Amino acid sequence: MSELVPEPRPKPAVPMKPVSINSNLLGYIGIDTIIEQMRKKTMKTGFDFNIMVVGQSGLGKSTLVNTLFKSQVSRKASSWNREEKIPKTVEIKAIGHVIEEGGVKMKLTVIDTPGFGDQINNENCWEPIEKYINEQYEKFLKEEVNIARKKRIPDTRVHCCLYFISPTGHSLRPLDLEFMKHLSKVVNIIPVIAKADTMTLEEKSEFKQRVRKELEVNGIEFYPQKEFDEDLEDKTENDKIRQESMPFAVVGSDKEYQVNGKRVLGRKTPWGIIEVENLNHCEFALLRDFVIRTHLQDLKEVTHNIHYETYRAKRLNDNGGLPPGEGLLGTVLPPVPATPCPTAE
């Protein structure tokens, strides 16, 4: 009696790897115009960029943002009056502007947080900020899962958070560590040392090293995060920023002065003019180049692909895979609560 031979299982289809054709093309195709096509389309639609500023009152947050974009875009420039008092709780105030340069339009939203760190008891004062950030993710998610969703979903998600560190020259405060511990998982944090002109060059260098060490010891990751480096080129560039530039020691000013026949932004002191864009005086130019000229698009991509996706996955998982707002039995589910974090010693 002949043995039954089992039929061989069909091998799973393996997609073929694309073959790189390195030979000379017979004629011009036009592949190289794709970048120009993308550029034209993007210029028509414009860009969104949402930047949050956090820090105690009096650290020059509004002035720095105005200096960064060379226009009056801060909350104080738009609606502040000198009689405004420091709020008793942390408030979130967003001001939107459209700025244009070289035919490129950008809808810029500056989110200010008046009241942060200004109270006698600052316990849990980061919670309204974390709540606001998660609410923007929730708003985007609800638009995204709609059956008839908009062609272009309005993006109010916070792409970048500038955290202002007081130039004490000593160490980070417990509040600084607590805030960055909580928020570094939900938003791109860029730490900056405010009013760096109050320190000597030696004090500034030592303080920067101390801050980097404290952030490392406390397991706080700031942007650009190491695990998000896409290739060796990114890693080399970002390592230099992480190890040398961070946190940026900056000076802001929207006033111009005459220096050697040129008009420069600066701060006038009895000893001379502190030039905002002079690297020998402060690191404002490095911060501007980093945020706007080299990493703006990456800030948006990390927000969408990492922070938003993390929120989205948790939200849908908690909701049984259904769109937000609909529970398994039709019940409305609340947004994801703030993530608890151990308090700093």
Contact between residue 56 and residue 166 where contact means Cβ atoms under 8 Å apart: yes
- Residue 345 falls inside a structural domain: no
β-strands 248-249, 256-259: how paired?
Answer: unpaired
Helix/strand/coil (H/E/C) assignment for every residue in 25-66: CCCCCCHHHHHHHHHHHHHHHCEEEEEEEECCCCCCHHHHHH
- Residue 173 falls inside a structural domain: yes
Listing DSSP states for 260-295 in one string gives TTEEEEEEEETTEEEETT-TTT-SHHHHHIIIIIIS
- Residue 189 falls inside a structural domain: yes
pLDDT tens for the chain, 345 residues long, are: 555 555 555 555 555 666 555 556 677 888 888 888 888 887 778 889 999 999 888 888 888 888 888 777 776 655 545 455 555 557 898 988 888 888 888 899 999 988 787 776 777 888 999 999 999 999 999 999 888 888 888 999 999 999 999 998 888 999 999 999 999 999 999 999 999 999 998 999 999 999 999 999 999 999 998 888 888 888 898 999 998 899 999 998 888 898 888 888 888 888 889 889 889 899 999 999 999 999 999 999 999 999 999 999 999 888 776 666 654 334 445 555 655 554 444
Please give the residue range of the domain that contains residue 225.
41-74+85-251+279-315
pTM beyond 0.85: the answer is no
The CA distance from 41 to 34, in Å, is 11
The CA distance from 7 to 180, in Å, is 60
- Residue 332 falls inside a structural domain: no
3-state helix, strand, coil in the chain (%, to 5): 35, 15, 45
- Residue 256 falls inside a structural domain: no
- Residue 80 falls inside a structural domain: no
The CA distance from 38 to 245, in Å, is 33
Name the domain count of the chain. Answer: 1
The enclosing domain of 294 has a CATH number of 3.40.50.300
The pLDDT assigned to 13 comes to 57
